[in-house]
Amino acid sequence: MGYKLEGLLSHVLPSSIASWGVLQLCVLAVLLVLLLRVGRLLLKYSSNIRRLRCFAQPPKRNWLLGHLGIMRNTEEGLQSVDELVKTYKHSCAWFLGPFYTLIRLFHPDYIKPLLLASGVLIKTAACVSGQGLLLSNGEHWSRHRRLLTPAFHFDILKNYVTIFNKSTDIMHEKWCRLVEEGQNCLDMFEQISLMTLHSLLKCTFSYDSNCQEHPSEYIAAIYELSTLVVQREHRMLYHWDWLYWRTDEGRRFRRACAMVHRFTANIVQKRRAALNQQQEPEQQSRSSKAKKVTDFIDVLLLSRDEDGNGLTDEEIKAEADTFMFEGHDTTASGISWILYNLALHPDHQDRCRAEVDALLQGRDSEEIEWNDLSNLPYTTMCIKESLRLHPPVTAVTRRFAQDMTVPGGRVIPQGNICLVSIYGTHHNPDIWPNPEVYDPMRFDPENSKGRSSHAFVPFSAGPRNCIGQNFAMAEMKVVVALTLLRFRVTPRDSEVRRLPELILRAERGLWLRLEPRIPPKD
């Protein structure tokens, strides 16, 4: 028996020892590869740190966390940006943990070369809108930009002004009813975002949603997506798709996305089918097109590139979803803060109202027409000053595949994230004296002479500026003019705390008091 056991061990032990040796070698090889990668990462990080020494570096929390957690999305966070701009004038380096760096820029001369260059955007909400114009890059973006530009031509925008008027009329009728019921203090964000959604659905799809009076599944999905995107942005672990899609929030996000995509896809498919089946004579077709109000989907379906190729249904759906998701909130934020600033400054409000009264004097209707938009100079100055003081989008990010040079011989190494602070640039005291003061006369043509073209960039600038900025400005002018014509707005006696999320909001809403106005007699 002893001999048999000894013989068995003599055969098994050498093979076990050999297997253990191979396992050790594999583990050592993996560890070596990891060490080499970590070493390369450390060398790259060290080189990057050295090259970033040309930028000021504000005090960090510690060597490990860097500036992580110092700048929060709160009122205090915006005040910290104000202090940063006052102290460092144009730019500074910012370290989020040991390996994540970005450059903050808040001076026209520093943001200009970055906004004029072709950089890659940092994606945050691709699932919502797919590869739409906002989130795409490279040749895909260039082609889509060329095809979408006609959708925002002035000849198309003229048709939308009537829609802006009607959507505003519906909102004001509701306000009058609420005031009669004793509710004279309303949250502007809640009210105006429904109105901008109503307008966008009509301009994009020719769809009468009636969303200002009755809720719908589509509207609920749009709002839920906005909420979930902000929640995901604030939770670091949710930035990993693998984890996020397995959470309750991730599953809700997918369901809301699916609902929005189904709605858009259904409309695009129906429009495509109708377009393909159209068999009218050319002259009759031209006549009907001349009479029809062209919407966003129509323009996209008919657009062609230089090779005669159009957009696919999937591409049109992505662009329409982008327009809806990004467009309603930003415009609603802009209008809400404009009314807030005018409520705080009744002298400017009265002057704007007098301008609107004079414009519409002697007319049978209160409709603002396309040609009226260029005849509201003081109201336009007040709108621009509000966009300076409270920009709907407080910052945009870029990452470049090449080194970028900014004034002073400073170089931003390739791969670093550049945070172009629109809010910081608009509040830079070197450019805007007393930046916290609301002063529309800053935008008087005489006072604007000599000012940098990139001192005021509420819609960004350069090749990737907001393609819908003329659409947004037209809607803001119509809504503000009609609101001042029909109401006097005053602030509520409570502190307003700004809340920078995807757009600039206010904590617990932006509440204003409404007093219906008796229009002056002719």
- Tell me the C-alpha distance between 516 and 314, whole Å: 46
- Residue 185: exposure state from Cβ atoms within 10 A (0-12, 13-18, ≥19): middle
Residues 496/510, Cβ–Cβ less than 8 Å: yes
Helices and strands, number each (H, E), in the chain: 18, 11
Question: How far, rounded to the nearest angstrom, does the alpha carbon of residue 359 sit from its chain's CA centroid?
Answer: 33
Paired sense of beta strands 417-421 and 100-105, if any: parallel
332's tokens:
């609603």
**DSSP H helical ranges for 439-506:** 445-448, 469-486
Angle of helix 248-277 relative to helix 217-234, nearest 10 degrees? 130
Residues across the chain: 522
Residues with Cβ within 8 Å of 174's Cβ and at least 6 positions away in sequence, in order, are 191, 212, 213
- Residue 365: exposure state from Cβ atoms within 10 A (0-12, 13-18, ≥19): exposed
Nearest 5°: CA angle at 65, between 62 and 70? 85
Token pair 């799809």 in the structure block, residue:
205
CA distances to 26, 270, 422 from 388, rounded to whole Å, are 60, 42, 9
Among residues 106, 78, 112, which one has the least CA distance to residue 91?
106
Residues 372/310, Cβ–Cβ less than 8 Å: no
Residues 147/303, Cβ–Cβ less than 8 Å: yes
519's tokens:
């229009």
Binding residue per annotation — 466? yes
- Tell me the C-alpha distance between 85 and 73, whole Å: 17
> How much of the chain is in helix, strand and coil states, percent to nearest 5?
60, 10, 30
26's tokens:
């594999």
What letter would DSSP give residue 449? T
- Residue 207: exposure state from Cβ atoms within 10 A (0-12, 13-18, ≥19): middle
- Tell me the C-alpha distance between 499 and 460, whole Å: 20
Nearest 5°: CA angle at 389, between 149 and 119? 40
Among residues 456, 414, 402, which one has the least CA distance to residue 432?
456
Paired sense of beta strands 487-491 and 498-500, if any: unpaired
- Tell me the C-alpha distance between 176 and 120, whole Å: 47
Paired sense of beta strands 417-421 and 487-491, if any: unpaired
- Please enumerate, by residue number, every residue annotated as part of a binding site: 466
Which parts are annotated binding residues for heme? 466
